[in-house]
Amino acid sequence: MSEPRSSESGFPIKGVYTQADLPEDLPDRLGGPGEFPYTRGVYSTMYTSRPWTMRQYAGFGTATESNARYHQLLRAGTMGLSVAFDLPTQMGYDSDDPIAHGEVGKVGVAIDSIEDMRLLFDGIPLDKVSTSMTINAPGSVLLLLYQLVAEEAGVPGAALNGTIQNDILKEYIARGTYIFPPKPSLRLVADTFAYCRAEVPKWNTISISGYHMAEAGATPAQEIAFTLANGVEYVRAALAAGLAVDDFAPRLSFFFVARTTLLEEVAKFRAARRIWARLMRDEFGAKNPKSMMLRFHTQTAGVQLTAQQPEVNLVRVAIQGLGAVLGGTQSLHTNSFDEAIALPTEKAARLALRTQQVLAYETDLTATVDPFAGSYVVEAMTAEIEAAVVELMERVADHGSVVDAIEAGFQKREIEQSAYRMAQEIDSGERVVVGLNRFTVDADEPYEPLRVDPTIEAAQAERLAKLRVERDNAAVERALGELRAAAEGTANVLHPMKEALRSRATVGEVCGTLRQVWGTYRPSDRF
């Protein structure tokens, strides 16, 4: 008899599961859909009344080009937009900063000021579209630009619906687009919670992300454990800032990956909901059921896409999307099949959206809630992952806090070890990747990728030069001075930040002002 296969989280997968594999307290672990501990989903009807929000991640080159892609996606039936920003924007630099050279518009859209944000959302009904923005260190800056553009269009903050990622802790662990040291970064997160509660109440103020840790090599158990541990740290930061748990926790959201290991992924999502519900109720005393609901967005696994035989990625993405839906996601982005090669073409992006639409409208996935409930294998796996996640979270807590664990290199080291093990399994052929280490072809068909116009950087620099000549620079300096004073004190920095952006201060100028007060984090620094 062959050896049992191991899950990506490290526990053995049995050839046959029976009733004996179910947890004895399964009814308590399950509850009902929309009931504590939300294992079966955060809403009682889930997709039987409406499908998940279908998002497509897009943004490249200039704001005008990205705006055209957004309109194409909306015409194709996308229900929510998901904005990718270029690296300089993510790091809080303007396009004409020397450090931005060669990166402007490459991995997302370049946003330097309110003028770019106006172009990005031109003609898009911001009171009807949900917008997610993958932005972290300067997340508050981009949110305020979005709010200002909405106000110009007559849309009040109370009507805006969307999410900023705003998850700085995972940047120190796995991604690296941080600006400030952890303490002021956590203050900025807490200030954003407080600001949005008053000014943009339907906005999800943070999307606590396991996706990027998974893309760096984290197992499903590590992805959930380190993400929920980060969530606990954000809750503590908000409480320390004087906020009540039920005032901000209902707007917390999460962001996970969906891999091709479908059964383990479904179990992972169900375990995550259960653990978070108990944490919020038992550790933090949350009373509002919405504070205990782990609502999350899912993106299919970019790291599992192959440049070899890229059309096979269409199959992978369909399976990954199926896992996210069976796991109870609230919104979903399906990757385009050509993303391992370049930015997706319009046709590839449309096919990715059509994949979700087939799942929603041609299958019976939306006919019933949590169809795997009671499954011998899925319930056993859910319990296995839950135990592994709790044990990992305890190891993080043993360091004192998430920040202390990051300083010790714990999460990064654990993820790197898992990534190395996975790479060895692929290299040896133990783990099959179709088209890469098995079922290969001599040569792939030619493919013409989408290419970013190399003149974008110069054009953005010209726009910035014109902006700085035409604006009231004295007003900008006054506004930046007020932002600096708030950062030096204890006032919420988002209010003066908004006025600086309204006066046409740039993203780089705003972030640069905060750098002067808070400093810049370097990995060798002590926290």
d(CA 281, CA 81): 32
Contacts by residues 520-526 (CB-CB < 8 Å, ≥ 24 positions apart): 520/179, 520/180, 520/181, 521/172, 521/178, 521/179, 521/180, 521/181, 521/182, 521/185, 525/181, 526/407
Closest CA to 289 of 475, 13, 31: 31
Distances (CA, A) of 158 to 32, 55, 195, 202, 203: 32, 22, 12, 7, 9
The residue length of the chain stands at 527
- Give the phi and the psi of residue 255 in degrees, each rounded to 5: -145, 120
d(CA 527, CA 525): 6
Dihedral (CA of 101, 510, 136, 53) sign: negative
Contacts by residues 24-31 (CB-CB < 8 Å, ≥ 24 positions apart): 26/374, 26/379, 29/274, 29/382, 29/383, 30/373, 30/374
d(CA 34, CA 369): 10
Q: Which residues contact 289 (CB under 8 A, 6 or more apart)?
A: 36
CB 506 within 8 A of CB 483: no
Per-residue three-class SS string for 391-418 = HHHHHHHCCCCHHHHHHCCHHHHHHHHH
d(CA 521, CA 527): 9
H-type helices in 171-244, by residue range?
182-199, 211-215, 220-240
Number of H helices, E strands in the chain: 21, 10
- Give the phi and the psi of residue 193 in degrees, each rounded to 5: -55, -50
CB 328 within 8 A of CB 273: yes
d(CA 311, CA 351): 11
Peptide bond into 37 cis (omega under 30): yes
Strands of 85-182, DSSP E: 130-134, 162-164
d(CA 80, CA 522): 35
When the candidates are 3.30.300.130, 3.30.1130.10, 3.30.70.1520, 3.20.20.240, the CATH number that belongs to 19-395 is: 3.20.20.240
- Give the phi and the psi of residue 58 in degrees, each rounded to 5: -150, 150
DSSP 175: I
Extents of the domains making up the chain = 19-395
**Apex 478 CA angle, 473 and 483, nearest 5:** 120
User: Which of the residues in the chain have pLDDT under 70?
Assistant: 1-3, 57-59, 447, 449-452, 524-527
Counting Cβ atoms within 10 Å, is residue 38 exposed (0-12), middle (13-18) or buried (19+)? Answer: buried
- Give, for 473, the enclosing helix (H) or strand (E): helix 473-488
| DSSP 3-state of 284 | coil
Could you read off the pLDDT of 492-523 as tens digits, one per residue?
A: 999 999 999 999 999 999 999 999 999 999 87
DSSP 106: S
Dihedral (CA of 315, 316, 322, 326) sign: positive
Closest CA to 179 of 487, 502, 503: 487
Peptide bond into 289 cis (omega under 30): no
Closest CA to 215 of 167, 265, 258, 262: 258
d(CA 322, CA 261): 11
Q: Within its chain, how far is the Cα of 282 from the centroid?
A: 26
CB 175 within 8 A of CB 216: yes
